[in-house]
């Protein structure tokens, strides 16, 4: 079972210190009691999580985004700040799994949401549009990430997991357009619809043709690269990750 090391655990589990110990009888560390108890993960606050457990949270960001928007409109700024903080945390965790060329994009969105969380709480955000634009960028980053994860899963011949990631990527893409107030062109929507249908077949049909799956995943990835043309630019780039308690 594939595992990810993630740096954010707030929306998954409350963690102060987490160590992963090697199983008895496996590897060099199992030779003595002292070596056996040597932690594999030494940094405070880092956790290791199975991929299938991590995937259970794939639909959390959109839920928290919607709650944040609703809270902001109702002037419930503390609650809104909390929701933004959770979405930012999810993106930090996703960045820890991401391909190197995508890490900064996810980190930037996470940091943007962290800063928005602080600004909302202090009453310095004057328009819900700032939230919506940030959500559009975050969903776009997640769409690309999940499309890449679909490719990874297909490379290890896990068609079901690949289909799940692909379906999530398509939903992320549509969410991004929604938050940006952008109506997708018919060609773009067709690519996403085809990707969603393909994802369903991969999930539900044992032994689905890998070559056809690969083409569909690549097509969705190519379409996602076009989204940046109508997304508002981020207000920050390359900021370091803010540590959270």
All structural domains of the chain with their residue ranges: 1-57, 58-229
Q: 133 pLDDT band (50/70/90 cuts)?
A: very high
Q: What are the pLDDT digits (tens) for 45-79?
A: 667 788 888 888 988 999 999 999 999 999 999 99
More confident residue, 28 or 4: 4
Closest CA to 223 of 149, 157, 180, 166: 166
pLDDT at 175 over 80: yes
Tell me the average pLDDT of the chain.
Answer: 80
pLDDT at 111 over 80: yes
Q: Is 33 exposed, middle or buried (0-12, 13-18, 19+ CB in 10 A)?
A: exposed
Q: How confident is the model at residue 26, as a pLDDT?
A: 39
Q: How confident is the model at residue 49, as a pLDDT?
A: 80
Interatomic CA distance for residues 108 and 88, integer angstroms: 10
Cβ(132)–Cβ(179) below 8 Å: yes
pTM of the model: 0.77
pLDDT at 179 over 90: yes
């Amino acid at each position: 079972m594939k595992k990810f090391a993630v740096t954010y655990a707030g929306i998954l589990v409350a963690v102060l210190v987490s160590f992963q110990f090697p199983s008895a009888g496996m590897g060099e560390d199992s030779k003595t009691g002292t070596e056996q108890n040597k932690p594999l993960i030494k940094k405070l606050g880092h956790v290791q999580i199975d991929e299938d457990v991590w995937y259970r949270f794939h639909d959390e960001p959109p839920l928290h985004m919607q709650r944040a928007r609703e809270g902001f409109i109702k002037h419930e700024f503390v609650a809104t700040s909390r929701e933004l903080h959770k979405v930012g945390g999810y993106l930090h965790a996703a960045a820890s799994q991401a391909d190197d060329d995508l890490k900064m994009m996810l980190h930037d969105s996470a940091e943007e949401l962290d800063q928005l969380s602080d600004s909302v709480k202090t009453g310095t955000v004057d328009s819900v549009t700032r939230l919506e634009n940030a959500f559009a960028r975050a969903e776009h980053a997640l769409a690309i990430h999940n499309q890449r994860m679909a490719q990874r899963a297909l490379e290890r011949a896990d068609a079901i997991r690949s289909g799940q990631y692909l379906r999530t990527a398509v939903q992320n893409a549509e969410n991004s357009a929604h938050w940006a107030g952008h109506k997708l062109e018919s060609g773009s929507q067709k690519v996403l619809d085809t990707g969603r249908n393909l994802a369903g077949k991969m999930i539900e049909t044992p032994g689905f043709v890998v070559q056809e799956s690969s083409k569909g995943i690549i097509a969705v990835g190519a379409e996602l690269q076009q989204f940046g043309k109508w997304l508002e630019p981020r207000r920050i780039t390359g900021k370091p990750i803010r540590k959270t308690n």
